[in-house]
Amino acid sequence: MERRTFLRDALGSTLALSALAPASTIAAEGEASAKSEPLLQGAPVVTGPAAESLTILQAVRRPATGYLELQGRADSWQRIDAESSGLLPYDHHVLKFRLPPLPAGQEIRYRVTATPVDFQNAYKILPGEATTSETHSVRTLNPDAAETKFVIWNDTHENLPTIQSLVAATEKLRPDFLLWNGDQTNDIYDEAKMGNQYLAPNGLTVAAEWPLAYTRGNHDVRGPAARSLSRFTGTPEDRFYYAFRSGPLAALVMDTGEDKTDDHPVFGGLAAFRAMRDRQTAWLAKAIEEPWFAAAPHKVLFCHIPLWWTTEEQSENGPWTFSRVCRDAWLPLLRKGGIKLVVSGHTHDAKWLPAAEGRPIPQLIGGGPKPQGATIIGGTATKERLTLTMSRLDGSILETVNL
């Protein structure tokens, strides 16, 4: 596989000139500019995605607290406070609300209210003017539905034109859930940028009206702020491996980690994905035995790095090493559990790999991140058939898979 590099923007003349100004002046101007912007950064994001494990996240531009309100079919508004050990949220970048278990297949309305907080000291905390989001509607997933529709993105790497096209296409499809299959970012260095990277890129509404199932990619573990990722995602129990059911489809979401071994020098001794892989293997053995999972007509594994590819590099620390160990660890359980398809990304080369000798489960690999190579995958599952269509952003169909 060719090495992929992601170039950062060069420093512009504005930065060069600002270096000549006093630091206090620059800081004051930056603070004033931040306070002039709206408190809410884009729309809320619904994640989870099962009815018993939904989370709603709201990116904010400055320190804030807040609450969420829910409304069922004919119910009055119910306030949800993100209280923890007697404290309400106070965060510079994101507010995160865990919802109580909700009825399956029910439409709910919700809105987020955030209040800026000037935390001067322990005895002087000054709340500002509250801001309430628009009211949005979302339907919880229904395991008993006769049909489910879903959309898959992957390897967007902060490419705004690609994300804009994906958002527009997804809004037309109106899926039951969206799955973002890894590498939302190039790397994660600054918590202040993570709201834009993961929740509201350039202010776009990504998943305010359908649940988002989030898969972690290998670029999403790179950078010092990667350790804060769970604050900006809402996976069940803040794990990056989980399972859920939507109609006839049982979905496994698993974390393939990095694409090199833990002792590779590029990680500087900070990688420990072997332990994570072992935990997932033990979890997988139990997940496939759950009655709701075992009874599903269709079972699909979503993971970022493919378990198979067209040409496997054999070098000891090559970029496919970790993927091979995931395959070796999980394949017996995937076959036992009746997984009929693997959907991945990572290679930036859209491919359909049907079942073959040495590859007992077929695999669909999405493209990306540049608009000309990006793909969107739309899926429909009924009790009789699972159909996935992988298309370019211009609508041209690359593959239609019927299982």
% of residues, the chain, pLDDT over 90: 84
Q: Which tens digits make up the pLDDT trace of 29-64? A: 445 555 789 999 999 999 999 999 999 999 999 999
Structure-block tokens of residue 276: 């994570």
- The CA distances from residue 96 to 88, 105, 201, 208, in Å, are 11, 23, 18, 14
Q: Which tens digits make up the pLDDT trace of 12-25? A: 433 333 344 454 44
The distance of Cα 279 from the centroid of its chain, to the nearest Å, equals 20
Helix (H, G, I), strand (E, B) or coil at 115: strand
Q: Which tens digits make up the pLDDT trace of 345-371? A: 999 999 999 999 989 999 999 999 999
Confidence at residue 316, expressed as pLDDT on a 0 to 100 scale: 55
Mean pLDDT of the chain: 90
Q: Residue 98 and residue 79: Cα distance in Å, rounded?
A: 12
Q: Residue 352 and residue 100: Cα distance in Å, rounded?
A: 39
Q: Does 332 sit behind a cis peptide bond, omega within 30 degrees of 0 on the bond before it?
A: no
Q: Which tens digits make up the pLDDT trace of 229-283? A: 999 999 999 999 999 999 999 999 999 999 888 888 999 999 999 999 999 999 9
Q: Are 155 and 368 within 8 A, CB to CB?
A: yes
Average pLDDT over residues 96-115: 96
Amino acid identity for residue 25 in this structure: T
Residue 28, pLDDT above cutoff 70: no
DSSP string, 139-176: E---TT-SEEEEEEE---TT-HHHHHHHHHHHHHH--S
Q: Select the CATH number that applies to the domain covering 147-402 from these four: 1.10.132.20, 3.50.50.60, 2.60.40.650, 3.60.21.10.
A: 3.60.21.10
Domain boundaries, the chain: 55-139, 147-402
Average pLDDT over residues 185-192: 96
Q: Which tens digits make up the pLDDT trace of 67-105? A: 999 998 778 999 999 999 999 999 999 999 999 999 999
Average pLDDT over residues 133-146: 97
Q: Which tens digits make up the pLDDT trace of 192-207? A: 999 999 999 999 999 9
